Every structure is written in structure tokens, then in C-alpha cells.
Amino acid sequence: MSGRRRAAGRPWLAVLALAAGGGCAMPPGGAATQRAADATLNPNIIKVIPFYGQNPFGTVGGGGKTNGFVIQALYLVAPTEKGEEGVFGDGIIHVSMFVIEPDGEGRTQRRLVREWLFDPEQARPYRTKKRYVGGYGYQLHCPWGDADVLGKRIEIEVSFERRDGQVVRSRPRPFVVPRS
């Protein structure tokens, strides 16, 4: 069985391969861009699936030192006529960054150090330009400003706040931020 055939049975594996391989780069303009811009917002998000590159940290928005991270591909999954797939969400995307530190009693605790909020209009520039195997998604750039996280253990958690008040969360993803 070919690798292409195996990936077809697991669409999220194919999506991960695209995200990790830089397959999210798309040419500007064209019919695919217009279809993505015109895609309707879906309020029925049931899963939040973020994919990060091997090293998501770098200079976000310029600068000489590490000052942010990129979520290579973020899929807000909803049931559609084609099954479950990534859609553009009608609600608010929350990206939270926590520092993991000792609490003084030998345990670790999560301390929120930065949060980014994207309503549908703020998320529009980060939409993918075309539909991929997993559907539509976003590529979010998250600069952390003056947050003191260089060289520290962190967790990034993405959640989606639906219009009906329900919050759907991804699993927290641990990282160690490079020192520079």
C-alpha cells in the first residue's frame, strides 16, 4: 500500500504532513482566495486542533530576538455535509500561553502570561487561502510583547468560544522557549 493511500484513510495525518512540510504557503489571489474569503462562518465548532512547526518560535512582526510563535495550522472542526472538517468559526478564538513553574510545595502550576483573542473579523487575515484535506483553517501569529518567557517551560492552549457560550478547547501543548 502506498503512503499516499494510507494518509487518505486518516485525513488529519495528511493535514499534519502538509502543516509540518510548509504546505500551508499559498499563492495570493485567484479563485481559491475568493472562495475562502466568501466562506460562511460556522457556529457549531466541536473540536479545536492546532498544529505547530518543529520550532514555532521566532521573530513575529520583526525584531532581533525571539518574541513570539506561529500556529502553523489551526483547524476549528465542525460537522458538515462532507463529515467533520475544518471551517471558519463564528465565535472567538482564544490562544493562551502559560508558564509552568514550581509552586513552592514541590508541585508545578500554570500561570497565564499572555492571551490573544481573535473574533471573526480579526481572524480573517489569518485564514487559509484554500481548502485542504482537513478543510479550512488559520495560521495564527502570536507576538508576546514583554512577557518574560525566554528559556522557560510553557504550555499553549487554544480554545474556541462559540456564540452559544460553549467553550471547546485543544489539549495544552508543552514547549521550552529558546533563550534567544
CA separation for the pair 33, 37 (Å, rounded): 6
pLDDT confidence of residue 37: 56
User: Going by DSSP bridges, is the β-strand pair 91-102/153-162 parallel, antiparallel, or unpaired?
Assistant: antiparallel
Residue-wise pLDDT tens digits, 100-157: 999 888 899 999 999 999 999 999 999 998 888 889 999 999 999 999 999 999 999 9
Residue-wise pLDDT tens digits, 48-71: 999 999 999 999 877 778 999 999
Residue-wise pLDDT tens digits, 85-104: 999 999 999 999 999 999 88
CA separation for the pair 132, 74 (Å, rounded): 12
State mean pLDDT over 79-90. 94
pLDDT confidence of residue 120: 96
The neighbour count for residue 8, using CB atoms within 10 Å, is 12
Residue 101 one-letter amino acid:
E
| CA 83 and chain centroid, separation | 21
Q: Is the dihedral of CA 115, 133, 90, 80 positive or negative?
A: negative
Domain containing residue 22: 3-176
pLDDT confidence of residue 25: 33
* 67 close to 59: Cβ distance less than 8 angstroms: yes
Residues forming a β-bridge with 167 = 161
The gap between the terminal CA atoms of the chain, to the nearest Å, is 44
- For residues 74 and 133, the model is more confident at 74
Number of domains the chain is built from: 1
